[in-house]
Amino acid sequence: MSLDLTRAPVHQTALRLKNGQLRVEQYAKALLARIAARDPEVHAWAYIDHEYVLAQARKLDKIPAEKRGPLHGVPVAIKDIALTKDMPTRYNSDIYRGTTASSIDAACVATLRASGALLLGKTHSTEFAATTEGGPCVNPHNVKHTPGGSSSGSAAAVADFQVPLALGTQTGGSVVRPASYTGVYGFKATWGAISREGLAQYSITCDTPGFFARNVDDLELLAKVYDLEDIPSTKFQLQGARIGFLKTHVWDLAPAGPSLQVAWEKAKDLLTQHGAKVEEIEWPDADFEKLTKWHLAIMNGEGRSAFYGHYVLDKDNLPSFLIDQVENNNNISRLDFLEALDGSARLRPIWDRFSTQYDAIITPSVPDIAPEGLEFTGDASFCQPWSLLHAPCINLPGFAGEKGLPIGLTLVAGRYHDRQVLDTGKTIGNIFEKEGGFNSSL
């Protein structure tokens, strides 16, 4: 039986690409065929040039083995808010609809290119990665439902086997939420661990690059390329591990829906059966419940400056949501903004210390399955605290929600424990995928 390259784990395929057992052009053709067959329905891609992809693949195939980079020929999709020197960057905005390629790459894109990756194309985002209104992209598991946002196309393309890896960004819940809705791994790095230069800015306090993959080993390839280093931590062992389940205040605020409630209890049961010591835990300080309102204040405060240039350039083509931020129609005062900045800064080291009391901490990714319809990309309130706390986190897929749609849970740690999150996520994620109950029909 021949290998289906669209479904092969890329950490295995990468070895074959590097030693010449597999040609980059062959791999690219397999993915482009999948895209041609599926994307007219999924609409994951904002820009892709098949002939250009094949030309780049042939160039990579000509590189001598000894000069091939760590990601030689590995296909990666780029969220269309990152500058790319060979593809247009349009931010899903009418203001930039007709623009051509930039003269430079965003720093995180330049790292991928220098590592030998095959940049396959640009994936759909909500407008400026800031609005909650869906674009053309749908959930590949059920096209009547949203894939989430703002990294809609990146999550959908990975879930639909159109690409093995994709770049996303998270300011509120734009990596973790779509990963949960589409049933893939979505990893948000520690804030500041990966450069944001050349990415559309919303909040300098929260904007963070992240990635999508169908397994953790593939994410580890990227962690190595971006040189993510941890504060030293021990190797995760599930047997006897102390695992905290943190509902947070959002459980009642959102509130938690039926699919989340079922996944939550099943996750606790599974980890207990595998030898972990599971316990429900609470926030270590009452002020953590203020993170929701503080996140809103910071989004409004920093959104005013982030979108002011677009407002001056072409207000008529800016969505009302962003106009409201520039004009401060939400009436966020400077005192509100400063309280949010200073309050969240105080909580970060408290969270870092608290998280070390547990071998792993699990928290919800989303309130429920992906909402029906494309008008709304879903509730990010479970994700917002981790964006504001600058904590690394990963959506762990595997659970089946209503209508057969996937739902995941988040593994989170203290700052600069990115590799620990991946190592722990691999062990726990394997259990959730095998025993959580979700079976993809894709």
- Average pLDDT over the chain reads 97
Among 47-61, 65-79, 97-111, where is mean pLDDT lowest? 97-111
For tokens 């509730």, name the residue. Answer: 379
Determine the pLDDT at residue 100. 87
**pLDDT band at residue 414, thresholds of 50, 70 and 90?**
very high
pLDDT band, very low/low/confident/very high, at 242 (cuts 50, 70, 90): very high
Mean pLDDT confidence for 310-322: 96
Residue 261 has pLDDT above 80, yes or no: yes
Q: How confident is the model at residue 308 (pLDDT cuts 50, 70, 90)?
A: very high
pLDDT digit string, tens, across residues 350-409: 999 999 999 999 999 999 999 999 999 999 999 999 999 999 999 999 999 999 999 999
The C-alpha torsion from 11 through 13 and 17 to 19, rounded to 10°, is 80
- Residue 434: partners with Cβ closer than 8 Å, 6 or more residues away: 398
Query: What are the catalytic residues?
Result: 79, 150, 174
Evaluate if residue 1 carries a pLDDT over 80. Answer: no
Nearest to 346 by CA among 389, 387, 293: 389
- Flag whether pLDDT at 217 surpasses 80: yes
pLDDT digits (tens, 9 = 90+) for 56-78: 999 999 999 999 999 999 999 99
Rounded to an integer, the average pLDDT of 323-338 is: 96
pLDDT, residue 369, reads 99
What pLDDT is recorded for position 231?
A: 83
Question: Strands 277-281, 242-246: parallel, antiparallel or unpaired by DSSP?
Answer: parallel
178 touches 207 (CB < 8 A): no
Q: Which are the contacts of 392, defined by CB distance < 8 A and separation ≥ 6? A: 187, 188, 189, 190, 193, 412, 413, 415, 416, 417, 418, 421
Q: Is the dihedral of CA 113, 116, 121, 122 positive or negative?
A: negative
Asked if 260 contacts 181 with a C-beta cutoff of 8 angstroms, the reply is no
Single-letter amino acid code for the residue at 341? L
**pLDDT above 90: residue 188:** yes
**Averaged pLDDT, 102-130:** 98
Tell me: the pLDDT tens digits for 126-176?
Answer: 999 999 998 799 999 999 999 999 999 999 999 999 999 999 999 999 999
Tokens of 437: 């109950």
Query: Which pLDDT belongs to residue 338?
Result: 98
* DSSP state letters, 227-268: T--PSP-PPP--TT-EEEEE--THHHHTT--HHHHHHHHHHH
What domains lie within the chain, and their CATH numbers? 10-289+340-435 (3.90.1300.10)
Residue 434's φ and ψ, nearest 5 degrees, are -75, -35
- For residue 233, name the pLDDT band (cuts at 50, 70, 90): confident
pLDDT given for residue 213 in this prediction: 99
Whole-number pLDDT of residue 440? 94
